[in-house]
Structure 1
Amino acid sequence: MPENETAEFRPAPPRASSTPWIIAAVLACAVGAGAAWWFWLRPVEAPVAPPPVASAPEAPVAPPPMPEASGPQNPVDALAPADTALPAVAESDKRVAELLAELLGSDKVASFLLTEGFVRRVVATVDNLGRAQAPSRMWPVQPMPQRFVVDGDGEGDAPTTIATTNAARYSAFLTFAEAVPLEPAVALYARLYPLFQQAYEELGYPKRYFNDRLVAVLDHLLLAPEPKSPLRVKLTPVNTDVPNLRPWVRYEFVDPALESLSSGQKILVRMGPANQARAKALVRDLRKRVATSELQLPQR
């Protein structure tokens, strides 16, 4: 699981203490990008606004690609009417930031989010969470200074494992995510949905629907395995004489089944069992609200 740009496996000295970090998800509630973000970890490099990039489904761990359809499977207008006076996605940053501040508070938005290119960041990140890589430059969250911590240095017979102290990094932000009011958040998502759909079409899906992709990714995240700690990791060997100035991006799971997971499922696994349970509870709650095809089923 070399993380290239993701930088989650960034070890501090062995057995060092760790402070809470970011779990990007319920903001997905706030504007529909899927509870996933509050669960995804921070980027290390300064993020840049992502341009629209066409990408095709690739990794076998990803949710199956959404088929072209004559209409959405999970129509958002079942949640709330869309705003008819929205700007184009390229000019939407100011309006989106204002609405996020009204919902979450300007201090929390400033602390945790990147509002520049926010809609495109959200769409790209949700789409990538079911794939092998979720580049951190596309995440809609602020970089944070805390580092990933491992126990053991890989020397001798002692295995290198994810430190149990890492779990504490997520607690404060899971609490914040759990406090986001889902009903008004999902209503705001529906109100802004034309922007998310436009950004999704820019990614290269002109005949597919972002809310359908969101539901598929949420379902995929709920299938993440729930192994018990400690989880063994190792450094991917590199055959080069050039000094590696960023060795933390070379960590991967020792267990090949865990290493083959998607980027989003790996994040859930790395959070630890208790945090993963809280994160999945949020994902389930969001899914109940955005999976409108099920909401429309007749009562029996």
Structure 2
Amino acid sequence: MSKQSSAGSWIVAVIVVAAVVAAGGYLAYRAMHPAAPAPAAPAPAATAAPAAPASVPIQHPITQAAAPASASSAPLPPLDSSDSSVLSALESMQGGKDLASLLIQRQIISRIVATVDALPRHALGHSVLPVREPRGTFVTTQVNGGTVMSARNTERYAPYMKALQGVDAKALVDWYVHAYPLFQEAYRQLGYPKGYFNDRLIVVIDNLLATPDLAKPAALTKVNEHYAYVDPALESLTVGQKMLLRSGPADEAAIKATLRDIRSQLTGRKLVTTSPAAH
């Protein structure tokens, strides 16, 4: 891979990791934290967001992440009618049909932006998810008399990991750079008129990388009709961190390795990795 495409390839992983983390873990999250049925979902752009902070300097401009010569010069469609353009771009890429088949094919960019923004928080609305939920149900097992997540859950996430590994990185980066104004517009509509979406991605990556590496499956307890972590420190993790844990140790390690690489490419600084305390 060229230096140019490598420098921009972080967005390939971020887009697909958001799908893997959100879709791959959401069903387990809902099993552990069920909610009463909600009325018809609002558009992702209408999802509540914290009050926008004062304008701050852009830390990671997209033009520095990648500037591919092959990026399309075709005019962009309006955000609210961009779905067909997004799907067409994805389906033209190697492996893109696998990714496109997992997407909820409406308000695609707005859903991706809203999900990425929500991952470091403690709540994620079902209405903003950009991908279809995995098949099957959350499965537990008994270990030494205690309840833990079953390793069988990772089988449900295989299509998402396949998409992560199979998409043409350079082509997707080229498209993302070309389409970045739509991502930025969606982020502003989300409630950040002075924010910069690329900078938010770094915050999200750092939060996911801070997910603890567990030496053994975490103990669960049933509270009413759902499961919760016995360890309060795990139960207090962010949505993205909990979902990353529920992708299983092997997938979590693979996703973290990708995130570390793309973060260093994006910022030009290698992370000094330490082993988080195991619970």
Q: TM-score range by the shorter chain?
A: 0.7 to 0.9
Aligned AA (1:138): V
C-alpha separation in 1, matches of 2:187 and 2:194: 10
Q: Does 1:163 align with 2:150?
A: yes
Q: In the alignment, is the contact (CA less than 8 A) between 1:30 and 1:188 conserved in 2?
A: no
Judge conservation of contact 1:31–1:188 (CA < 8 Å) in 2: no
What's the CA shift for 1:172?
4.8
CA distance in 2: counterparts of 1:171 and 1:33, whole angstroms = 16
Given candidates 257, 261, 275, the residue that maps to 1:281 is 257
**1:29 aligned to 2:3?**
no
| Residues 66 and 127 of structure 1, relative CA distance in 2, 3 Å threshold | farther
* Corresponding position of 2:4: none
Amino acid at match of 1:40: A
Q: Write the distance in 2 (CA, Å) between the matches of 1:119 and 1:31.
A: 15
- Any conservation in 2 of the 1:31–1:192 contact (CA below 8 Å)? no
C-alpha distance in 1, partners of 2:53/2:213? 26
Structure 1 residues 96-138: Cα deviation after superposition (integer angstroms, max 9, x where no partner): 1111111255642453111210000000000000100122221
Pick the aligned partner of 2:200 from 213, 221, 231: 213
Question: Separation in 1 of the partners of 2:126 and 2:60?
Answer: 28
1:1-46 Cα distance to aligned partner (Å, 9 max, x none): xxxxxxxxxxxxxxxxxxxxxxxxxx98349636332233356699
Query: 1 or 2, which has the higher helix percentage?
Result: 2
Structure 1 gap segments, 5+ residues each: 1-26, 58-64, 238-246, 296-300
Q: Distance in 1 between matches of 2:191 and 2:179?
A: 20
Deviation at 1:269, TM superposition (A): 1.3
Tell me the secondary structure at the aligned position of residue 40 of structure 1: helix
The 8 Å contact of residues 54 and 203 in structure 1, kept in 2 or not, is answered as: yes
- Counting aligned pairs with the same residue, the percent is 35
Q: Deviations over 1:157-195 (max 9, x none)?
A: 932211122233334532431222323322221111000
For 1:48 and 1:102, locate their aligned partners in 2 and report how far apart those are by CA, in whole Å. Answer: 30
Distance 1:93 1:163, change over 3 A: same
Which residue of 2 is the match for residue 241 of structure 1?
A: none
The alignment's TM-score, normalised by the length of structure 2, stands at: 0.76
1:253 to 229, 243, 247: 229
Contact 2:119 2:238 in 1 (8 A): yes
Per the alignment, in what secondary structure is the counterpart of residue 215 of structure 1? helix
Q: Which amino acid aligns with 1:206?
A: P
Equivalence for 1:77: 63
Q: CA deviation at 1:229?
A: 2.6
Match of 1:12 in 2: none
Please name the residue that 1:111 is paired with: 101
Please name the residue that 2:275 is paired with.
none
In structure 2, the CA distance between the partners of 1:125 and 1:108, relative to structure 1 (3 Å rule), is: same
Kept after mapping to 2: 8 A contact 1:32/1:189? no
Structure 2 counterpart of 1:50: 44
TM-aligned CA distance change 1:278 to 1:120, over 3 Å: same
Residue pair 2:115, 2:129 contacting (<8 A) in 1 also? yes
Matched letter for residue 268 of structure 2: E
- SS at 2:15 equivalent: coil
Distance 2:235 2:217 in 1: 15
CA RMSD in angstroms comes to 3.1
Choose the corresponding residue for 2:240, options 264, 273, 295. Answer: 264
Q: Which amino acid aligns with 2:236?
A: S
When normalised by structure 1's length, the TM-score is 0.71
Alignment of 1:1-300 (within 5 A): 29-30=11-12, 33=15, 35-42=17-24, 49-56=43-50, 68-69=55-56, 71-78=57-64, 79-80=66-67, 85-105=75-95, 107-152=97-142, 158-237=145-224, 247=225, 250-289=226-265, 291=266, 293-294=267-268
Q: 2:78 and 2:218 mapped to 1: Cα distance?
A: 45
- The number of aligned residues is 245
1:102 partner letter: S
Distance 2:14 2:231 in 1: 33
